[in-house]
Structure 1
Amino acid sequence: MGLTSVLRVRATGPAAGTTPLALVPGTNMNAAVSLAAVEALAVLGPVVVLDVPGQPGLSYGRRSRLNRMDRCARWLADSLSRAMDGPAWSWVIGLAP
């Protein structure tokens, strides 16, 4: 699906865990408009934000036309495996093909 922008934010809370939280902003969203959610999640642990290709943001700008669900699923699995060093909590906001 193209280049994916990844934002990494360190944990800020005194009781923050070490397991990263993955945030995937969905349709018409990106890391920049999700900063309030990222700030709130950083209290719990480190946060990794993946900008979805084809949506506003710093990832690849063209939206997939064919097999969207399959491509989105493969993109998400591949992007998470590349962006994370191990297990992670995931939070997807409105991901739509």
Structure 2
Amino acid sequence: MPDTLYDWGLAVAAAMMTVSFLVIVWRIITGPNSLDRLVGMDGFVAAFQCALATYICWSLDTTVVNAMLVIALLGFISTVAVTRFRRRDNQ
């Protein structure tokens, strides 16, 4: 694959992730209840992992893989913890 096509593909992926970050942040800020904000935070963690994967593809540096693993585990654990102890918003 030519380098220019590869770079363009990564640029398109980065642009789409930028738009998704903006939509996710909007959902976190304007979410009508805490569950919408929790789903937004899950989306943010997933989008951040995708951004790190795109960075790995762009720089060909695999030292970030450990950070991706930690972020994935912390995102999962935090989601389970919050949903376990969540109460309704009107209580």
Q: TM-score, normalised by structure 2?
A: 0.30
- When Rg is computed on C-alpha atoms for both structures, the one with the higher figure is 2
User: TM-score w.r.t. structure 1 length?
Assistant: 0.29
Greater fraction strand:
1
Higher fraction of helix: 2
